[in-house]
Amino acid sequence: MDMIDKLIIEFGRATVAHWSVAQNRDWLEYIKTLLLEKKVKNLLEIGTFKGVTTAFMSQFVNHIYTIDKNTIHSKGKIFPIDLWKFLGIKNITYKIMNSGSLEFKKFLKGISFDFVFIDGEHISPFPAIDFDTTKSCGRVLFHDYFKNNRFPGINLVVDKLSSVEINEPFAYWEETSDEKD
Ligand SMILES: C[S@@+](CC[C@H](N)C(=O)[O-])C[C@H]1O[C@@H](n2cnc3c(N)ncnc32)[C@H](O)[C@@H]1O
């Protein structure tokens, strides 16, 4: 039984439903392949939600820093922490903060990361803010990019970039020499 099945049994099917990347095994497989191919060490995630995708990704990297502007509760506990404890995961740092805040900028100065997974607020100006604040690490994966402009705030950022690999609903960007400031 894999990690996602275990979580569904313990916490219910709703754990992986709706907003989470974990609702789709092909999407998880895409992320797993990318993280392994790119040999990602320290990953920053914007948009923890229930922490299921965070848990999944934690298997393939050294450490994950993940932030969310909201706490998600279940059984009176903070759900992501509950869930990671259940799985015995110890390589996740979780902060409740807004990616647009000064607090987040300060937090970034104290950590080192080589890959960002942007899956927070989908409307403008947040995807642009999230990208600008974190792009210095050189590798950014956006979730919920659709060519049909379903989330215009995300297209506004991604469509301007060269060296983007589109794999709906993902867009993966890597810095190239011509995109350096
Ligand atoms: C689509 S869900 C993330 C799903 C998660 N990555 C997964 O695959 O399970 C979006 C999350 O981003 C959070 N969020 C939205 N705007 C944010 C912001 N400005 N800063 C931090 N978190 C934010 C929301 O509270 C929500 O939990």
Q: What percent of the chain has pLDDT over 90?
A: 83
- Kindly provide the residue ranges of all beta strands, DSSP E only, lying in the chain, ordered along the sequence: 42-46, 63-68, 73-74, 77-78, 92-96, 115-118, 139-143, 164-167, 170-174
Tens digit of each residue's pLDDT (9 = 90 or more) over 103-133: 999 999 999 999 999 999 999 999 999 999 9
**Which residues partner with 67 through β-bridges?**
46, 95
Q: How far is the CA of 178 from the centre of ligand 1 (A)?
A: 31
Q: What token pair was written down for 55?
A: 């848990």
Asked whether the beta carbons of 46 and 119 are under 8 A apart, the reply is yes
Is the predicted pLDDT of residue 179 greater than 90, yes or no?
no
Q: Write the residue with the smallest CA distance to atom 7 of ligand 1.
A: 20
Query: What letter does residue 9 receive in the DSSP assignment?
Result: H
Is the predicted pLDDT of residue 180 greater than 60, yes or no?
no
CA distance 28 to 134: 22
**What pLDDT is stored for residue 126 in this prediction?**
96
The three-state secondary structure class of 64 is strand
Architecture of domain 3-179: 3-Layer(aba) Sandwich (3.40)
- For range 76-90, the mean pLDDT: 90
Is the predicted pLDDT of residue 181 greater than 80, yes or no?
no
Average predicted confidence (pLDDT) for the chain? 94
Question: For ligand 1, which residues put their CB under 6 angstroms from it?
Answer: 19-22, 46-47, 49-50, 52-53, 67-70, 98-100, 119-121, 126
Domain chopping of the chain, boundaries: 3-179
Q: How far is the CA of 180 from the centre of ligand 1 (A)?
A: 28
Is the predicted pLDDT of residue 176 greater than 90, yes or no?
no
